[in-house]
Amino acid sequence: MVRKVAVTLPEELYDLIERARAIEHRSRSEVAQEALRTHFGEPVYRPTDRERRQLLEALEADASDASTRLDWETVRRQLHARE
């Protein structure tokens, strides 16, 4: 079951969520869920340095052509398939 929750955030926290979702191609909900899981000690996916480097390289290369962008889940699956 999924429940919706409205949360009021100070501007600096909202900005952190927006930056994280832009870099990681994730939704606000995914970023907030991960933050809550981390806070409460539940294991969360953490990209390796290599995965982060590959993601940043792909974002830089892709910045000029939006038609080649992939969602985060697709990128993560492709990275794991290479291991």
Phi-psi region of 23 (alpha: psi -120 to 50; beta: other; left: phi over 0): alpha
Residue 52 has a pLDDT of: 86
Residue 66 has a pLDDT of: 67
Residue 24 has a pLDDT of: 86
pTM of the shown model: 0.50
**CA 65/CA 2 separation, integer angstroms:** 35
**Residue pLDDT tens, the chain, 83 long:** 989 999 999 999 999 999 888 888 899 999 999 889 888 987 767 788 998 888 888 778 767 676 767 777 888 888 888 76
Residue 31 has a pLDDT of: 92
